[in-house]
Amino acid sequence: MEDNKLLKYTEYLFTGLFLSGVFIFFAFFYNNHLHFEEETQLFLLTGDFFKAKMGLPGGFSGWIGQFLTQFYFVSLAGPLVITILLFLMQRVTYRILSTINDNRSFFIVSFLVPLNAMLIICDEFYPLSAVIGVLISLLAGWIYTTIAGNSRRFVAGLLLIALTYCLAGGSFLSLLAVIVVFEILSAARARKNRVLGKTNDTPVFRMLRIWQLLIYIIISAGIPLFARQFLVQEPIGLAYFSEFYYDLRIEVPKAIPIMFALPAILMIIIYFLPSREKIFKAAIFIQIALFIPAVIFGLKLWTNFRAEEIMKYDYLVRMNRWNEVIKYAEKTPPRNNLSLAMLNLSLAKTGTMGDRMFNFRQKGTGGLFLSFAKEYVAPMMGSEIYYQLGLVNASQEYSFESMETTPDLGKSVRSVKRLAETNLINGNYEVARKYLKLLERTVFYRNWAHKTEKYLYNEDLINNDPEYGDKRKMIIKKDFFFKTEIMEGALNMLLQQNPKNKMAFQYLMGFYLINKDLRNFMDRVPMMNDLGYTSIPVGYQEAIMYVVGLSTDNPMEGLPYKISSDTKLRMQAYASIYTTRDNAQELLSKEFSGTYWYYLHYCKVDIKNVK
């Protein structure tokens, strides 16, 4: 009795810890992945959208998966959804495993299925519909195992396999494996019980006949072929595995077959574990001892915290939380051009690019503008930069192309929203209306779409809007063919048209400084007068002092611009180390790595793409 209580509490405690761990992990350590998933899908709450999904094998799990993914918009809702799904998964797995071995000491084995599910969704290419699909097949498996009569079970098996294929797609293979293993192991157990003389208290299990199992296998092999021939004509791999388990359709990663096989494998494992009604305390401890390293190993294998960092930069930029980007960069400096470009954009948006740009390690103009790539991340982030600069067409192009390269071949709510905005600014109201209509059919963007619809054909409202009006003031009036290689010309044109475009000015100066093109930089310093600068940004002061230093013996005297005494003092200190010490770089890196001088002297940048 005591053991039973202990086991019950252990179960509660373990379940609680597992679920809390899942929730905390996704809420506080991996939340940006969820936001990223949410923004790269477009879920429409319409009958046509549902019908279109239901027309595909596994479409139901795809629909439910996308329906639930939209709640990732709310930071804590996503982790809650995942936690609940994994809990359900564990409970159903536990039920199935109990039919093979009802010794509760091995309950932890049933957590391996949700653990596996949790791990795979750490990779952004595995959608939530994969979890839903497996859950549906587990539910079908559980139902199957509860049916006692052989003929009823056989018919139910046929129906469940077909139904699971329709609703959940590829995981019908998982159900097939569960059914076959269940039949074989239950029969083996029944035989064993007969030998041990334990058949009095349990009904005798009669396995389906071999031909019946063969029919299951033939039906399972045939259903996708039938669907492919007459319903959905798609590549053969997709016909079996369906498109709702992995976003990149051209391949089926190993994790998918493993995920499908796992419930059946666990049934086999648990079959060989002792089934006596004794509670094995040691077994529980051993399982926990094995489970923890499995979690750690799994997280190491599946998580990508570098991507999480990029996604955090991206999320904060998407939400226009510019200061938070900078704060985050102070803690976690950008490790690649994607993050760096988002940081530089945030610096420009807060007007501090000239002051702080070189406080962070710059890696060339690739950290200012993101070149077009045929994938969805760089164009989406690049679209933010061009949008804020007023290069509305470029932003639109990047946004559209990002959507067209979304791995699951669907649409992206973030892109659609941006396209509505760019078309609104460009005065293409009917196209904007089309996108707004789509957003009106979403849960979280409906209000925004309704509000924005009022802007259609309302020139005054747009022109007086702080965001759209500003973009219209910045907008390019003289046409040219856009590409990132001609950004210098584009920025100069933006400034020529609107000398008060401070964003363009900061980017242009940043561009010259990064390229160590001090002549062009100096030529544009006087433009600051028109831009309302009350003091010269620190980075510019450093560059000016350097230029002056090259042409005069005493750069502290007769400076053409107002340089702060702090900059002068720092330059003196920098120069004395730079000119006198053999290990100058090492010494300067400690105190002066955030200066333009240090960048100029010691940072090698790739300027090959600059024209």
* Residues lying near other proteins in the complex (CB under 8 A): 44, 46, 48-49, 228-229, 233-235, 238, 249-250, 374, 391-394, 397, 400-401, 404-405, 409, 411, 425-428, 430-431, 433-434, 437-438, 441, 475-483, 490
Distance CA 604, CA 236 (A): 50
Contact between residue 325 and residue 317 where contact means Cβ atoms under 8 Å apart: yes
How many beta carbons lie within 10 A of that of residue 459, not counting itself? Answer: 10
Shortest distance, position 37 Cβ to other proteins, whole Å: 19
Pick 7 or 431: Cβ nearer other proteins:
431
Q: Which is nearer to other proteins, 404 or 517 (CB)?
A: 404
Q: Which is nearer to other proteins, 109 or 424 (CB)?
A: 424
- Closest approach, Cβ 189 to other proteins, in A, equals 45
Q: How far apart are CA 261 and CA 137, in angstroms?
A: 11
Q: Which is nearer to other proteins, 340 or 495 (by Cβ)?
A: 495
Spatial separation of the C-alpha atoms in residues 182 and 207, rounded to whole Å: 9
CA–CA distance, 72 with 210 (Å, rounded to integer):
46
Q: What's the token pair of residue 22?
A: 């899942």
Shortest Å, Cβ 72 to other proteins = 22
CB nearer to other proteins: give 381 or 394.
394
Please, which residue, 310 or 436, has the CB nearer to other proteins? Answer: 436
CB proximity list for 554: less than 8 A, separation 6 or greater? none
At closest approach, how far in Å is the CB of 397 from other proteins?
5
Closest distance to other proteins from the beta carbon of 506 (Å): 20
Reported residue count of the chain is: 611
The C-alpha atoms of residue 499 and residue 489 are separated, in whole angstroms, by 14
**26: amino acid identity, one letter:** F
Q: Closer to other proteins by CB, 149 or 427: give it.
A: 427
Rg of the chain, C-alpha, whole Å = 31
509-534 as b/e: b if 16+ CB within 10 A: bbbbbbbeebeebbeebeebeeeebe
The CB-of-267 to other proteins minimum distance in angstroms stands at 35
Report helix, strand or coil for 409.
coil
Q: Which structure tokens are listed for 501?
A: 């475009």
Nearer to other proteins, 211 or 481 (CB): 481
Nearer to other proteins among residue 315 and residue 435 (C-beta): 435
Closest approach, Cβ 130 to other proteins, in A, equals 20
Residue 536: helix, strand or coil by DSSP? coil
Least Å from the CB of residue 404 to other proteins: 4
- What is the nearest approach in angstroms of other proteins to the Cβ of residue 219? 21
Compare residues 32 and 423 and give the one whose CB is closer to other proteins.
Answer: 423
- Alpha carbons 346 and 70: distance in angstroms, whole number: 27
Nearest approach in angstroms of CB 433 to other proteins is 7
Distance CA 456, CA 429 (A): 6
In contact, 317 and 43? CB cutoff 8 Å? no
DSSP-based three-state secondary structure for 303? coil
**Is the CB of residue 267 less than 8 Å from the CB of residue 174?**
no
Token digits of residue 105: 């000491």
